Amino acid sequence: MVGVVGLQVLDFISHSVAQTRRLGTRLGQLLRPGDVILLAGEFGAGKTCLTQGIAQGLGITRRVTSPSFTLVNEYPGGRLPLYHIDLYRVTGVQEVLDLGLDEYFYGAGVSVVEWPGQALAALPPEHLLIELSVIGKTKRELHITAVGSRYDDLVDRLLAQASGSESLPPGELPREVFRCSQI
């Protein structure tokens, strides 16, 4: 993995659907063409919820739903196109290679991949990995790892933005109630 200089990590606890979405929105605002985000975690961990936030941050107005049955959902119309990929039903590296996803990964948009675990070797070696875990009814842990210098930079910008004036004061209620549904 030439060029991988660091594994910057960031841990985030989300106490609500709105918070998970808001993190996604912040991330979506920072993404650049060709960025690849891998979302790992069990069912209900919040992968699709986070993706809905990312879409919002990219300025996509269409509702993002789970692509489990379609494999890839494309969302044009925002600042950058979003490719939402779900590998739950795909087993093994070769099967993923056969899908020919490189046009997405190395294209003009942003790729968000749910269930990357089985096929890491077929996915871009540099990526932002977000591992989500359920730690309570409405509490989720998001462990973010930057794999590659490009993503170190993304995490730096995410941190800078979160500590800047755009962050909400503690306890401020979200202006909008978000719902994240399974499908």
User: Is 9:144 a contact under the CB 8 Å cutoff?
Assistant: yes
Binding string, residues 28-47; x marks residues near ligand ADP by CB under 6 A: -------------x-xxxxx
Q: What Cα–Cα distance (Å) separates residue 95 from each residue in 37, 86, 118, 174?
A: 20, 13, 10, 41
Judged by CB under 6 A, the residue of 58, 80, 144, 180 near ligand ADP is 180
- Residue 41's binding partner out of Mg ion, ligand ADP, none, with CB under 5 to 8 Å set by partner kind: ligand ADP
Binding string, residues 48-67; x marks residues near ligand ADP by CB under 6 A: xx----------------x-
Nearer to Mg ion, 8 or 85 (CB): 85
User: Is 142:130 a contact under the CB 8 Å cutoff?
Assistant: yes
Closest to 49 (Cα-Cα) out of 95, 16, 93, 90: 16
Task: Find the binding residues for ligand ADP in span 74-133 (CB under 6 A).
Answer: none
Any bridge partners for residue 100, and if so which?
A: none
Nearer to ligand ADP, 107 or 178 (CB): 178
Task: Find the binding residues for ligand ADP in span 127-166 (CB under 6 A).
Answer: 138, 140
Please tell me whether residue 26 binds ligand ADP under the rule CB under 6 A: no
CA-CA distance, 174 to 183, in Å (whole number)?
Answer: 23
Q: Which residues neighbour 173 within 8 Å (Cβ) at sequence distance 6 or greater?
A: none
Per CB under 6 A, residues contacting ligand ADP are 14, 16-17, 19-20, 41, 43-49, 66, 138, 140, 180, 182
